[in-house]
Amino acid sequence: MTDLNTLLAERACQRLMLDYCECVDTRQFERLVSLFARDGVLNRTDTGEIKGHAAIGAFFDKLTTDPLIHAATNLLVTVTGPETAEAVSYVTVYRSYRQNATGQPKLEAPYVVAKYVDKFVVEDGEWKIGYRDTIFAAKE
């Protein structure tokens, strides 16, 4: 791979990592599911492996309706081949249970801090999440 191809792959994977957070926060679950490979896996310590578009979609359809904000940091992508990459990142999730005096979600302490460990693959010419492991580092 050329340096340019490596940079493009890294950026595509970073974009997937950020799009995932945005999709969760804005409840764009159909779009979120499309970020995964068809047989992609979302693994969480509280649910185990959730495999495939239908199962991942069903999981997110049951997600809390409380306002969420995912603040993603330390997005470190390593391209391992022309169609594979791995990454680690951290996310601090804020969840609001109440409104403040102006009707906005009240700022609460972080709900969870998690580490994402990802594997990316190219499917039909596009980078996709092949496997996302969510490791809870601290939780409310």
- Per-residue pLDDT band at 65 (split at 50, 70, 90): confident
The mean pLDDT value of the chain amounts to 93
CATH of the domain at 43: 3.10.450.50
Note the pLDDT of residue 43: 98
Query: How many other CB atoms are there within 10 angstroms of residue 102's CB atom?
Result: 6
Structural domain count, the chain? 1
Domain extent for 54: 3-139
Percent of the chain whose pLDDT exceeds 90: 79
Q: What contacts 24+ positions apart, CB below 8 Å, involve 123-127?
A: 123/37, 123/38, 126/12, 127/9, 127/12, 127/13, 127/16, 127/85
